[in-house]
Structure 1
Amino acid sequence: MTDRSVDPQAVAHVAALARVDLDESEVDEFAAQFADVLGYFETLDEVPDVESDPDLVNVLRTDEARESLSQDEALKNAPETDEGYFEGPPVG
């Protein structure tokens, strides 16, 4: 993209879709910032590819089945429980 300009109308349209209220100066400011961001991506496209074969090794242990906590043991320190489950504050 040699023309690094971003259409302010496109910025205003995207802002409207996102329900973001921008005044005229903010639209122009964002258009300039988007053009800069696109320029950074063009710069990244110029970085040469590096060919290397990383020596990857599986460092994870093999899975082993083992005994775990019972439900009562898992819940014994919980401040509140409800019918065998942890109970926490409502999220909203």
Structure 2
Amino acid sequence: MSLKVALACLLVVSTVSAGVLPLATTLVRTPSLDSAIVKSERLGGNFAYSTVEGHAYAAVSPVVHSVATPVAVSYAAHPVALPHVAVAAPLLHSNLLF
């Protein structure tokens, strides 16, 4: 008997540590899918109304999965490398005079 208890405890601990618990499907009332029938009759000089309503339910089972979290990325701005422009000195010749 104690082996079964130990095995059950081990199963519970391993399930909780894994984070995987079977979640139950639940029934949820969905009024947008309801149906109703209204019946009117005239009995003698009076009007008689009867209604039959059908309530709708939907089965919802939760979806559990791990979501990938984005990892922060840092960017470093590098200085812009501009080409070096060399300006030549003016050419002056003393022998060319106008």
Whether the TM-score (by the shorter chain) exceeds 0.5 is no
The structure that has the greater radius of gyration is 2
Which structure features the higher share of strand residues?
2
Which structure features the higher share of helix residues?
1
TM (norm. structure 1) is 0.24
TM (norm. structure 2) is 0.23
